[in-house]
Each structure stands twice: as structure tokens, then as C-alpha cells.
A and B are shown apart, each in its own frame.
Chain A
Amino acid sequence: DQQVKQNSPSLSVQEGRISILNCDYTNSMFDYFLWYKKYPAEGPTFLISISSIKDKNEDGRFTVFLNKSAKHLSLHIVPSQPGDSAVYFCAASSPRGNAGNMLTFGGGTRLMVKP
């Protein structure tokens, strides 16, 4: 069973508009959430993270919102730029002594920002 789900496989937005990428999780033990961005033929690049004790974290054009009661998080990109076009992965981790910061990933959302 997928513990982290990204239900939208793709999203297309106009340059300058807001991009909203969504992620749902089922495991209530997750306490740290991350977003990674991936270009073709490259490894994932860390974008932004949020601890479960917060409900919002902002870094420049990127903001992550966490709704623990709904087990839902979202990534907002404002304004969107063509260079943001990539696959975005949501990931989560839980405190497990033997597995370090092992991440459970969603299936990804392909964002296309049109000029």
C-alpha cells in the first residue's frame, strides 16, 4: 500500500501563476516531510521541508503547507517560472532508530510551466 500519494500525475500552469502540488499520506508516524525536484537523467534535488510541529514553511517562491489532521501537504510555487518544469516528489520520514532518515516517496507530479 502506498503510504505517500501524489494523485495528480501532471500539472500545467502559465508562467507567473501559482503552481499547487498536493500530497497525501496515511502513516501518522511520519514527522518530517520534504519536497524534491527532479530533472530527467538527474537525481532528486532537495527543495524544501517541514517538520510536523509546523504548518507552514516558506523559502523564497516556495511554500509548503502541512495539514496534519487531514494528512495532507501541499507545495506552492509563486510565481511559477519555465525553469520550474520538472517532476516533483513528496517524501516523508518517521523516527525509526535503525533506518535513519529513510524516506517514503510519492509517485511524483510532472509540472509544466508554459511561457
Chain B
Amino acid sequence: DAKTTQPNSMESNEEEPVHLPCNHSTISGTDYIHWYRQLPSQGPEYVIHGLTSNVNNRMASLAIAEDRKSSTLILHRATLRDAAVYYCILSRYFGNEKLTFGTGTRLTIIP
């Protein structure tokens, strides 16, 4: 299975943009890039996913490198409620039957 690498932790000031990086140098052509986040003592929550093109939704944006070996989750204006562990995950195009989570990035928001 293709693996992802993320920094263990990051800090950001409230109301500023946050860029969370993810490296996936062994990604295959059919792997989708997913992002989830997890608040303490809760189940993970879907954030965004994409294949090749950059994606935007109400929660965040996903910027995918042209060679697809890295991606960046962008929170445009961080709030205290965005403090969570963020997971970058790869899943195959024909089903996500094995979403494999790493340890993620713990994002701290500074008021």
C-alpha cells in the first residue's frame, strides 16, 4: 500500500490560513488523496478528497502537485474549532475498502 508522510505537529494563529503538507511519493495513478480530521475523543470526520485537480469545498481546499507526489490541505481562515489531528490518506479509485491511517498532523490554533 502507498504510504503518506506528514509532520507530527503544526501551530497556526487564529484567523490566518493554514497549509498542512502531505508527501506520497509512491502514489499510483488510481489512488485518490483523502483528508480526514479527528477531534479529541471523537471519530474522524471527512474533510476533502481529490485525484489530480485542485479541489475546493466549504471546509477547505486541496492543492495537488502536478506529479501527485505531494499535496497540501488549506484551511483558509483557521478557527479554534479547527484544532484537531489531520490525516492524509490514499485510497484506490475502485473502492476505498482499505483506508489506511497514519499518525497524522496535530494542528494547534493559537488564539
A binds B: no
